[in-house]
Amino acid sequence: MSVVFQDVSYAYGADQPPALSHVSLTIPDGQFLGVIGHTGSGKSTLVQHMNGLLQPTSGRVIVDGLDLADRRSRHEVRRHVGVAFQYPEYQLFAATVREDVAFGPTNLGLGAAEVDGRVRRALERVGLAYDEVAERSPFHLSGGQQRRVALAGILAMEPRTIVLDEPMAGLDPRGCEDILGLVHRLHEDGMTVVMVSHSMEDVAENADEVLVMSGGRVLMKGAPDEVFSRREELYRVGLDVPQATRFQSRLRAAGLSLPQDVHTIEALADAIVASVGTRTKERYQELAARAGGVAGDRVARAGEDAGATKDAGATTQGSDGR
């Protein structure tokens, strides 16, 4: 589903400063949009406009051609746009997991068999075994499991767009990986995904486009390569680039010939192999010494892994041409 913001401004009260100021953007159908920005920049306020939970003080939000200023349009759009708030598990309420996940589809007026099928599919999708969790109290599950139950409740509505406000917040690395994997699969299945995240890595690796919010305004919107190459501007608003990009910068500064736009670990690994794969041992040691610190250790290790055992003076093939 496409989501269009037309000059949207929003204030939480007449005496409050605007939380959003003149936001205009288009999220095309099927896109994975990553939303980043410093704390208080308006990310949560923005995403709550996507299914009409908040309504603009001025401007318009249009989802699949429906203007959310209209009550019936909001009602219709809410069936298709699922929004997971920060810590969605706080909204679990039912006595059993099954009832909690069934709440949305039951309210749609679906029959018992359809609701049951949706609950089973939704739990399976988030990686929970129906037979193990369905009759348990959601409050007796681990935090990570509770998060998944909450997401299952949204998926049971079978939305076409899912909006997730920091879905990995507070989870351990494995829990983060599970949720990110789920979000990735939802996108692959054709859903439009909007994900607010404080992790530049997660955004760089998954998003088609990145939206950078600052002070309630859109600072940038573009492909990850484009956004993360504007490092100085990101710094100025308290953000950073992915670790892979910082590492690549260090290697470039140390004299390694690498492409400018490397923002994921995979791309960086490929670039390093392409650049140094055939160097001599001594050349690696020289580069490692120049890079210093962690970057230097990595260069040295990359050299060992690449089997750079030739003696000094041996010819360097397929290198970067410097």
Ligand X SMILES: Nc1ncnc2c1ncn2[C@@H]1O[C@H](COP(=O)(O)OP(=O)(O)OP(=O)(O)O)[C@@H](O)[C@H]1O
Residues at the interface with ligand X (CB under 6 A): 12, 16, 19, 37, 39-45
Per-residue binding letters, 15-34, with Mg ion (x by CB under 5 A): --------------------
Nearer to ligand X, 45 or 192 (CB): 45
What DSSP string runs through 61-82? EEETTEETTSHHHHHHHHHHEE
Instruction: Tell whether residue 161 is a contact of Mg ion (CB under 5 A).
Output: no
Strand, coil or helix: 83? strand
Q: Where are the beta strands (DSSP E) in 146-242?
A: 161-165, 192-196, 209-214, 217-222
264 binds, among ligand X, Mg ion, none (CB under 5 to 8 A by kind): none
Output 31 or 45, the one with its CB closest to ligand X.
Answer: 45
Q: How far is the CB of 194 from Mg ion (least distance, A)?
A: 13
As a whole number of angstroms, the distance between CA 56 and CA 5 comes to: 10
At 209, phi and psi to the nearest 5? -140, 155
Shortest approach of ligand X to residue 195 CB, angstroms? Answer: 13
Q: Of ligand X, Mg ion, none, which one sits near residue 260, judging by CB under 5 to 8 A according to partner kind?
A: none
- Among 21, 44, 192, 214, the residue binding Mg ion under the rule CB under 5 A is 44
The end-to-end CA distance of the chain, in Å, is 48
Q: Cβ 228 to Mg ion, closest distance in Å?
A: 21
Torsion of CA 114, 116, 119, 125, to 10 degrees: -80
The answer to whether the beta carbons of residues 29 and 38 sit under 8 Å apart is no
CA angle 22, 23, 28 (to 5 degrees): 150
Residue number of the CB atom closest to Mg ion: 44
Give the nearer residue to ligand X in terms of CB position, either 34 or 37: 37
19 versus 156: smaller Cβ distance to Mg ion: 19
- Residue 183 Cβ, how far from Mg ion at the closest point, in Å? 17
CA distance 2 to 12: 26
Six token digits for residue 297? 């250790």
With CB cut-offs between 5 and 8 Å by kind, which of Mg ion, ligand X, none does residue 24 bind? none
Chain Cα centroid distance, residue 57 = 27
- Min CB(70)–Mg ion separation in Å: 27
In this complex, which beta carbon is closest to Mg ion, that of residue 166 or of residue 205? 166
For 50, 113, 285, 288, the CA distances from 198, given in Å and listed in that order, are 20, 40, 36, 31
Q: Whose structure tokens read 């949720």?
A: 179
Nearer to ligand X, 66 or 168 (CB): 168
Minimum CB distance to ligand X, residue 76 (Å): 25
- Name the binder of 52 from Mg ion, ligand X, none, CB < 5-8 A by kind: none
Quote the CA–CA distance of 43 and 37 in Å, as a whole number.
7
Which of ligand X, Mg ion, none lies near 12, with the C-beta cut-off 5 to 8 A by kind?
Answer: ligand X
Give least dist CB 110 to ligand X, A: 33
The site for Mg ion (CB under 5 A) is made up of 43-44
